[in-house]
Chain A
Amino acid sequence: MGLLGEDIVTEDGEFVINMGPQHPSTHGVLHLKIWLDGETIKRVQPHLGYIHRSIEKMSENLSYRNFIFATSRMDYLSAHINNEACALCVEKGLQIEATPRAQVIRILMAELTRLASHQLWWGCTGLDLGAVTPFFYAFREREAIMGIMEETCGARLTMNYMVPGGVMYDIHPNFQNRVKEVMKQVKDNLHEYFEILTGNVIFENRTKGVGYISAEDAISYGCTGPVARASGVSCDIRKWFPYEGYDKVQFDEILDTGGDCYARYMVRMKEMLQSVSIIEQLIDNIPEGDFQAKTKNVIKLPKGEFYQRVETARGELGVFIVSDGAASPYRIKYRSPNFSNLSAIEHMAKGAKIGDLIAIMATLDLVIPDIDR
């Protein structure tokens, strides 16, 4: 037992703090080891593996129908989109396509998920920066979206709605009306989001110029999603590699050149409006027909390697399946957006203050189970 001052600093005079795995603003079991000089961060080292559940290995013993649902537990805030990526990859292997109705439902659900995810992120960003109230405003709309999910799929967070060839059930008869109501609510209330947080001078001071990453660095760290787009890297999978008929809907890829926390914040805020616009284009145009293509009871993929990528709320999710022709995959690898985005944290946080690290983590929008899988 030493007194404070003797053993509390390293030989180089650095003050080492272990932020996490139990910490209010790491949003889970992320463990960051921080070397400090006073309040200034000299080094950050993420320690991973606290919530590793070996989803990839588990999937090797699950059928092609069942392994999809394990991915809901990776990035639980965009569970739909994860499931969709897996379903698409299996469809690629089977060389089928989801029915037109199912494709539109998938896009609708994916955009609703993205909207809900961004709302949760917005609330948590406020919370991380010390403003508690935005959290409740965000949950007001998120709750309504979760209600829609619950009505159609029976679940609110891990929806299990995607199957190879389509979706599991048809949409609820109320679906269209409720989605329209919620979209109206979101559009009516979005100005409150900007009023309570965006224009606040303290918020701007906390985020502008903080956690800067250039476009080159964003590419070399493998950042995707809003993190890369805020640095000016055009990387929206929905635009570059359209799937499910994203090429038929009108939407903009939001780009910013700031590269700082504020740019990442604004990219996500504008993406919310784009999601609303996509949903509004499709909600009245859901084609009639089957919601599921006919597939065999036991799906067997031909021998080979299949890769599918989608744009989740956090960036690019890649699903890589190696099949040996059996009823379950030989090997599965997920390329998760959060893992790559997290790797840039040291680059962003070096020389910043502790408070900045929190802002950086908030705008990276990390979901820890997606990092460890």
Chain B
Amino acid sequence: MVDLLKGYNVEKLKSENLRLLLTYSFASLSSHIHAWLISSMGDGMAALVSEMLIVGICLIAFLVPLCFFLGYMERKVAAFMQLRLGPNRVGPKGSLQIVADTVKLLFKEGLTPTASDKFLFNLAPIIVVVTSMLVMAPIAFAKDLQIWDLSIGVLYVTSISSIAVIGILMAGWSSYNKYSLLGAMRSGAQIVSYELSIGLSILSVIVLTGSLKMSDIVMSQSNGWWIFKGHLPMWISFVIFIIASTAEINRAPFDLTEAEQELTAGFHTEYSGMKFAMFLLSEYINLFVVSAIAATLFLGGWMPFHIGHWELFNHIMDFIPSSIWFMGKTLFIIFIIMQFRWTFPRLRVDQLLTLEWKYLLPISMVNILLATLIAIMGWHF
């Protein structure tokens, strides 16, 4: 051992090994898999399809436990706020409660109302889940861990996520239920309106980064996150983004589409069993997606907490793996959104639209001017 290392600077080698371990990039793993697939299947469709399959399986294997965790987290957060214990019987500290609930939903009969449009009725939950999964593509989960770093990443996210409203409208329309129809109509008005604010607050970040690519947006924050570098406009657009995305994913206090006390369950009144579970699944995936995007745009994604030229401090921060940074930030935003749900009463439908068109949208418009001014003058750090 000693002989082998003769002539080398042992200390330097050790530190390099350590650095290799810390800055381990998923790029090497994915390129290995890619090379192996090409070598065994050739450079054709087969390799591409099997690569997609692998990605899909990995995504589902990541999302389903994540949704279980988010469901458990939500129940515990709710219980904590409501002076009660929350699930504590199934599994350690009740952690398997959600699994038990899912099994129950799987075994339940998936009723289809006689008068419903059966094709659309069955298609709707699939559309809702598929769109929320599609949005995952450009999200950078860790350093180099990204499904598809396409050049219009943010634009892709906003455009694909707006397809979900079609699924909700379809569900409400095809159920042949007046409550469902009302819920679906509300969701149409709501999601279309709040997309404007989301788009404008995303745009204010784009103005500063100059790129729609997710990896560029993350890299632009290597010397500080936008929320710290971009002065007041970034704070405003962060808050607007959180509010508007809570409305976009139909969570309380903007859950008018399901509004239990008004419309029993809104657009998914008639759904049961696994079809209902699909809506639930998509709700949690959407929650994760909007939080992940907020974390990427404003809190630096997987980028560790860096301050300008404090090399030592930045170096220490780099020791925490990038995936932990990303998940930590995302879960923090999820935690905030969960607290909204268990604190606020629900808005009325006209107040919901008033909030968007009379307050958020004008503020966003002024805000984007400010952000542009900062970008042009180079006032940001």
Contacts and interface: CB of A to CB of B under 8 A. Distances in A.
A and B are partners in one complex rather than unrelated chains:
yes
Interface of A: 1, 4, 8, 15-17, 23-25, 39, 126-133, 135-137, 140, 196-197, 200, 202-203, 205-206, 353-356, 358
Q: Chain A CB within 10 Å — which of B178, B252, B261 has the most? A: B261
B167 to A, nearest CB: 17
Given A1-B115, A25-B262, A130 B81 contact: no
B182 A354 contact: yes
Contact of B262 (A4, A136, A355): A355
A190 to B, nearest CB: 15
27 contacts: A4-B181, A8-B181, A17-B179, A24-B260, A24-B264, A25-B261, A129-B261, A130-B259, A130-B346, A131-B344, A131-B345, A131-B346, A132-B78, A132-B82, A133-B81, A202-B345, A202-B346, A202-B347, A202-B351, A205-B348, A205-B351, A206-B345, A353-B348, A353-B349, A355-B349, A356-B348, A358-B261
B175 to A, nearest CB: 9
Contact of B348 (A23, A24, A126, A206): A206
A353 B350 CA distance: 8
Interface in B51-99: 78, 81-84
A137 B349 CA distance: 27
Contact of A355 (B84, B173, B176, B346): B346
Contacts of B264: 23-24
Contacts of A16: 178
Contacts of B351: 202, 205-206
B255 interface: yes
Q: Which of B176, B344, B347: most chain A CB closer than 10 A?
A: B344
A358 B263 CA distance: 10
B345 A126 contact: yes
Nearest to B252: A130
B357 interface: no
Contact of B347 (A25, A206, A354, A358): A206
Contacts of A8: 178, 181
B349 A197 contact: no
B138 interface: no
Nearest to A23: B264
A39 B342 CA distance: 26
B181 A128 contact: no
Contacts of B346: 129-131, 202, 206, 355
A202 B350 CA distance: 12
A67 B114 CA distance: 48
Contacts of B263: 354
B253 interface: yes
Interface string B249-272: 000110110011111100000000
Nearest to A126: B345
**Residue among B83, B114, B256, B262 with the most chain A CB within 10 A?**
B262
Contacts of B260: 24, 130
B343 interface: yes
Interface in B325-355: 342-351
**Residue from A4, A129, A130 having most chain B Cβ neighbours under 10 A:** A130
A269 B349 CA distance: 27
Contacts of B81: 133
A140 B186 CA distance: 35
A131 B343 contact: yes
A133 B181 contact: no
B347 A128 contact: no
A356 B262 CA distance: 9
A136 B84 contact: yes
A355 B83 contact: no
Given A205-B348, A206-B348, A358-B262, A4 B255 contact: no
B115 A202 contact: no
A4 B350 contact: no
Contacts of A24: 260-261, 264
Given A130-B253, A206-B345, A355-B259, 20 more contacts: A1-B114, A16-B178, A24-B260, A39-B186, A127-B261, A130-B255, A131-B345, A133-B82, A133-B342, A136-B83, A140-B83, A196-B343, A197-B345, A353-B348, A353-B350, A354-B262, A354-B263, A354-B349, A356-B348, A358-B261
A130 B261 contact: yes
Contact of A133 (B255, B262, B343): B343
A1 B181 CA distance: 17
A241 to B, nearest CB: 37
Contacts of A353: 348-350
Q: Which interface residue of A17, A25, A132 has the most chain B CB atoms within 10 A?
A: A132
A126 B252 CA distance: 13
Nearest to A197: B345
A211 to B, nearest CB: 12
Contact of A39 (B173, B252, B345, B349): B349
B173 A4 contact: yes
Contacts of A206: 345-348, 351
Given A4-B181, A39-B349, A354-B182, A202 B344 contact: yes
Contacts of A15: 178
Contacts of A140: 83
B262 to A, nearest CB: 5
Interface string B351-377: 100000000000000000000000000
Nearest to B186: A39
Most buried by B among A129, A196, A200, A356: A129
Contacts of A17: 178-179, 182
Nearest to A25: B261
A202 B176 CA distance: 32
A15 B180 CA distance: 13
Contacts of B173: 4
A4 B344 contact: no
